[in-house]
Structure 1
């Protein structure tokens, strides 16, 4: 059975990739939507390679068994000599390597099974807190005017950029609506937060806004906050980060299919 280890591993990994990319939206927890076709092709290729490997292994074993039977027909003593000289695949310790490698290699199937059966959740408050202190120096400037009408739906990344770097203060006097998950400091300050990605979850950075005037929902719950920008500090200064929103309402919402914003 160990001969089929590599084939089983390929099929499991391929099936896990297809599960999250072809049969649902789970892949959005890990990569941008534009990468879906590449995931589907990769998963299908791995399944095909694993299947082909299993077929080839079966064929080689069948040919070997047939050759061995023919040899025994001509020399019945050969079977006794093979057993005496080679023993079984495991060797005297029971941990031999055999043609397909050590038995411990089967443990490599556990991560593949975990991905197939229990896909990891999207990044949340822990990842946001790790990155919260790192902010790029983007420079101060003026931003285009916001669309007319109140409230205006803004991505948290755009809200943060305008709040911290917009010398024209385009957020003043406007009601905004922000959606994200809840993070909280030890002192009780809480934030509506979103992770921004360029390619995949591995390059995620944080966008967040401190929420004032409303009690904090549970950490990692998804909410929509409607309110107004509360200016803090001069544009581009450390005091301007994180931006602050005075909440008029906070409502619980389900996690969106794509939990990340594009950076």
Structure 2
């Protein structure tokens, strides 16, 4: 069994990658949707390599001394079996999407990026925006396109120690490792439990000086707060 430690590890990793990408949507917890074909190809390649390696790997040569074979195989096999632990964890217990803990780890730093006009919002209320879109318009839009409009935001609940709460989304450019936080402070509504997914409708509440850190985070005066299931893709694109 020791001589199959390497192929077994490759097979395990390949199966884990295929599980989250080919047989479900779990990969969306880690990477953007467009990377799915690459994950499937990588997982399939690892499985194929594992099977090929196992089939072609010969038995230990009898010309080697017992002591050499014993020491060599023990070192490699122990390392291979140790590396199976994270692969098994991904295969059997895939971690959840990033949530409030990850959002709170990023400092709320927003340097002024300059103000400007934004395209007009679509007709009809409420208008659905991503949390990042709402924040950009609230903080940087000199045309005040949010004024007088009812908007709809969906995200998970985060809180400050003083009880202030936010509807929050993590914005991912490529994968979960580069996630940044978009959030809007919610007023006039009772906060659901932290990490609960909600859809909030309400109106923009002007705050601070446009284009400055004092305007961050943006504020929404809530009219309705509705609990919703976590979306298949929990992240927003920038």
Sort the TM-score into its range (normalised by shorter chain).
Answer: over 0.9
Residue matched to 2:66: 86
Q: Check the 8 A contact 2:198/2:226 in 1, yes or no.
A: yes
Alignment RMSD (CA, Å):
1.9
- Report the Cα offset of residue 5 of structure 1: 1.0
Structure 2, unmatched stretches of 5+, are none
Secondary structure of residue in 1 paired with 2:186: strand
- For the residues of structure 1 that align with 2:191 and 2:83, how far apart are their CA atoms? 42
Residue matched to 2:180: 205
Deviations 1:45-67 (A, max 9, x none): 0000011111112xx118x5xxx
Secondary structure of residue in 1 paired with 2:226: strand
- For the residues of structure 2 that align with 1:161 and 1:151, how far apart are their CA atoms? 18
Residue correspondence of structure 1 range 182-193 to structure 2 within 5 A: 182-193=157-168
Secondary structure of residue in 2 paired with 1:97: helix
Cα gap change, 1:197 to 1:174, in 2 (>3 Å): same
Residue number among 127, 148, 151 corresponding to 1:173 in the alignment:
148
- Report the Cα offset of residue 103 of structure 1: 2.1
- For the residues of structure 2 that align with 1:98 and 1:180, how far apart are their CA atoms? 51
User: Is residue 85 of structure 2 the alignment partner of residue 110 of structure 1?
Assistant: yes
Residue matched to 1:61: 59
Secondary structure of residue in 2 paired with 1:146: coil
Q: Give the TM-score normalised by the residue count of structure 1.
A: 0.86
Residue matched to 2:36: 36
Q: Give the TM-score normalised by the residue count of structure 2.
A: 0.94
- Report the Cα offset of residue 237 of structure 1: 1.4
- Report the Cα offset of residue 97 of structure 1: 3.4
Secondary structure of residue in 1 paired with 2:76: coil
Secondary structure of residue in 1 paired with 2:73: coil
Q: Which has the larger radius of gyration?
A: 1
- For the residues of structure 2 that align with 1:167 and 1:151, how far apart are their CA atoms? 21
Residue matched to 2:130: 155
Structure 1, unmatched stretches of 5+, are 72-81, 91-95
Residue correspondence of structure 1 range 99-138 to structure 2 within 5 A: 101-138=76-113
The number of aligned residues is 238
Secondary structure of residue in 2 paired with 1:225: strand
Q: Check the 8 A contact 1:177/1:225 in 2, yes or no.
A: yes
Q: Check the 8 A contact 2:169/2:182 in 1, yes or no.
A: yes
Residue matched to 2:50: 50
Cα gap change, 1:125 to 1:54, in 2 (>3 Å): same
- For the residues of structure 1 that align with 2:25 and 2:3, how far apart are their CA atoms? 35
Deviations 1:33-87 (A, max 9, x none): 1110000000000000011111112xx118x5xxx6xx9xxxxxxxxxx9xx635
Secondary structure of residue in 1 paired with 2:96: coil
- For the residues of structure 2 that align with 1:157 and 1:187, how far apart are their CA atoms? 24
- For the residues of structure 1 that align with 2:163 and 2:194, how far apart are their CA atoms? 11
- Report the Cα offset of residue 89 of structure 1: 4.8
- For the residues of structure 1 that align with 2:23 and 2:3, how far apart are their CA atoms? 30
